[in-house]
Amino acid sequence: MASPATTRRDVLLNWQMGTGFGWGLLGVNLFGQWVHDPDLRPLMGFPIDPGLLNAIDPLRKLHLSPAVEVSNAHLRTLGPCDLSICLDAIQIDGMGNDFLSPAMRRSKLMIGRPVFETSAIDFARDRLARYDLLLSASRWSAGLLESATGRRAEVIHEGVDVATFCPGPRSGWMDPHRFYVFCGGKIEFRKAQDLVLLAFARFSARHADATLVTAWQSPWPHLAEGFQGRLAAPVRRAGGGLMDVKGWVAANGMDADRVLDLGHVPNVLLPLVLREMHVALQPSRAEACTNLAVKEAMACGIPVIAARNTGMLDVLTDENSIALRHQSPVLGPPGVGTEGWGESDIEEMLEALEFVYRHRDAAVTLGAAGREWLLDNGRTWPGHAAKLKSWLIEQAAVH
């Protein structure tokens, strides 16, 4: 029998909800999974912009809207952040590389969830001392946390929306005689778009039908400006909040006509893009969690070529993807620790692209296996929410 609504336990998800970045999507999907949960009441630690609901489908918008109003109203009752007040809630603080909470509140059960790419985290022990428990999204980051703090972090892998991201026929709008390579993720050293361009330049020189499709724009273009990596010329801004991807390609002596820059793509529309693709190429030098772009492609049944390092060790196998296993040590930007990072080998990337190009039926089979792996291993948002709920209830009972 379901618990009475009055006994629902508040869970304060202390980060910003949104549909254009990883943390935001985690918030949207956890919040949505728990809206009608009999035991947990989801609340966000930051105001939810009702306008963001326009970026999801109307049915889900109707599902979420009442709970969004409740969360925003609850936040107004709390007033300014005040550590002298202890909320009757489970609080999960989302943090980045600096391990600083986005909003200083205090609840009966405090859980720190840092998502970080740097391995230089000597400061972690002090900054995480206020938390009763630690939560991680990959075994790699959990291992670094334990080494730095002497404390175990629970690993609960993030999911993907397999209802939205699912296989389907190509639209017929795209040129059926072209071979489409997809790459997603904001432009930065860690995501290794420089390696993608180097590999694609050589691949497209062999195959006149090859086209690279990029979803590299982000809400923070200033963070990407000037990135160069192993290329000769850096990327520049184009104005209007966009990076000049095609100009970057041309500045590095490549044919910009072979690249399609999608601009800003609402997450809900990405499946329509992915289903047109022949392969996804994601050679990240590091992933704190498990690359959302990789899982979205896998969920659509698209074969994936990705770097087997850091958080991706928890996803990639020889059965569900083409894992780039030749990973050289990485010398990262100043102040960034790169223990466990990996530099993918261009030749191995070319071999992987050639395999998909020459063996289309085998690639389709590999893509289908990737989706099945996600389903079999619970790497969905319902699976993530269920595992997290079970752990939270268990921990709340003993703290």
Question: What digits encode the pLDDT tens for the residues 80-131?
Answer: 888 889 999 999 999 999 999 888 899 999 999 999 999 999 999 999 999 9
Which of 280, 364, 393 lies closest to 8 in space, CA to CA? 393
Q: What CATH number belongs to 179-376? A: 3.40.50.2000
| Structure confidence by residue, pLDDT tens digits, 33-56 | 999 999 999 999 999 998 887 788
Domain ranges of the chain: 5-159+380-398, 179-376
Percent of the chain with pLDDT over 70: 98
Q: How confident is the model at residue 20 (pLDDT cuts 50, 70, 90)?
A: confident
pLDDT, the chain, mean: 95
Residue 165, token pair as written in the block = 């991201």
| Structure confidence by residue, pLDDT tens digits, 264-288 | 999 999 999 999 999 999 999 999 9
Cβ(259)–Cβ(212) under 8 Å? yes
| Structure confidence by residue, pLDDT tens digits, 331-388 | 888 889 999 999 999 999 999 999 999 999 999 999 999 999 999 999 999 999 999 9
Domains 5-159+380-398 and 179-376 share a fold: yes
Is pLDDT at 163 greater than 50 in this prediction? yes
Q: How far is residue 99 from each of residues 94, 124, 161, 388, 392, measured CA to CA in Å?
A: 9, 7, 28, 21, 21
Q: What are phi and psi of 122, to 5 degrees?
A: -60, -25
Q: What CATH number belongs to 5-159+380-398? A: 3.40.50
Percent of the chain with pLDDT over 90: 88
What is residue 90's predicted lDDT score, i.e. its pLDDT? 97
Residue 164 CB neighbour total at 10 angstroms: 18
Average pLDDT rounded to a whole number, residues 145-168:
97
The 3-state secondary structure of 130-159, one letter per residue: CCCEEEECCHHHHHHHHHHHCCCEEECCCC
